[in-house]
Structure 1
Amino acid sequence: MLIICAGPESFLARQKVRELIDAYQQKHDPSGRSIERLEHQSTLQDVLGRLGNMDLFASKKLLKYENLLTGLTPAQTKKLNQAVLKDADQNIVLTEEDKLPPAKIMEHFSKEKTFVYEYQKLSASDLRQAVVAICRQNELKAELADRLIALYPNDLWAINTAVQMISVSGLLPDQTLPDSQSNLFNTVDNLLQQKNQVQTGLMGMDAQEILPLLISQALNWHKVKHGQAQGVHPYVQKKLLNTDFQNPDFKTINFLRCLYATRSSLAGGKEIVPLI
């Protein structure tokens, strides 16, 4: 089976992908072990090598690709379709595409084994309806939709991020965190990503204030990267997925050592800066 979720409205395409993965997990594999995320291996050779191969540990698998169909020739498309038919639903190939391939490519796929979800850019009324739905999912008032659309025209990704931030902080888009809290979060982000600004941010920070947040974010990063993100807020998940965490294992252990040092009165206050 081949399932195609395509833009140009990429937010809705991604939303459908998540919905399909959740449905598969609930029906076939609550553990999620048979779901393979192969976004960085989106090649015809890779998928052909997996289709039709028996798995001793899973009777069915879901193979998630990204832009798998981009650039395929008609001959390659026929080969992929033949492999999907021969596979007999042992594997579900789910690909998220920036846009649907042209008709001369799509015509080679079997209608019985290919399912297409295409999302065009939304009209004004449909956009508002989608934003209202996002607000309600996050237990925010529907009246916020017009304000968000005015701030982020035709950008569901930015609107969704703003909604997640509002649900965490309680602040509306034109409000900001207090400087001290904003600096704390920025410093933690810089530490995780090993940015040059980190030393400046650390000066004047209270170790007892920054270390719990550092450890929390480090542990959340590990959870998200290993697909065990239950209890981590969706906005935080998205943020951490896009965080290039330098030396994650070393840093997590180091943060814990620093916390132990501060709690054991071995170090405190600004003295913790060299340890971090």
Structure 2
Amino acid sequence: MNKRMDLHTHTKASDGTCEPAENVRLAKEAGLTGLAITDHDTVAGIPAALEAAVELGVEVIPGVEVSSSARGQDIHVLGYFVPYEDAAFQARLVGLRETRHERHKLLIARLQELGIPITLEKVYSRKQGTDKNIGRPHIAEEMMELGVVSTIEEAFEKYLGKGGAAYVNPPRITPQEAISMIKDAGGVAVLAHPGLYEDDELVRELIEFGLDGIEVYHPDNDAAQRETYSSWAEEFDLIVTGGSDFHGWRGEEPFHAMLGSHTVAVEAVERMRELVGKRRLG
């Protein structure tokens, strides 16, 4: 088996389209040693993934992608080896999901102002279960259903993404608070897809604040950015991570990229494990 891991995947617990066990199966089929489950502001998919991992012989790293905001845009911080069964940690995530819900209400209201006949109720009906942790891809799907856009990418480019006509960024915790939240819980804090922010000054600030790692290998980081972030990781002794940011399928295409397409060697996870051990002993 190829001793590599995909450390950034999403499930139906947030805005992915696959059950957690399906992500584990795909990792197995891709020949990976393991994967991380990193849903947005929730750890609800981790138990089912861990159960499937036992059966399939694949390691699952319990993770989360924490939503924060700085300089008018979303900043995401990945947490690894988080205490997913801890009530206090789960309570912090509930607050973050409530903020996500408010953000989506504002976004949909703006779409309605633009003349698009979309409703919050219809968008939420796209997600099964009681934990209505939707994401912008669910809104994009509804816009496709309405014939407003042809693809998820078009929805983000024209309306939902940074610079889009309906983009909103309500007050959220800062990325520094997200880093502290993860580290205080005994986890490992890694900046997700830094190339997406187009703000390397902020990336440097967060490194100096106390990031444990940086996601060098991601579909949204180009070759020059990967080189830059690799050099910064070496300079600051950061853990280099990578992942596909797999969200399942939108139509016939994987979104963002296929699980297993962006990976790192297991040594990155071993470094995380050592850091977690020291952090929880200290």
Q: Greater strand percent: which structure?
A: 2
Q: Greater helix percent: which structure?
A: 1
Pairwise TM-score range, normalised by the shorter structure? under 0.3
Q: Which has the higher contact order (CA 8 A, sep 6+)?
A: 2
Larger Rg: 1
TM-score (norm 2): 0.24
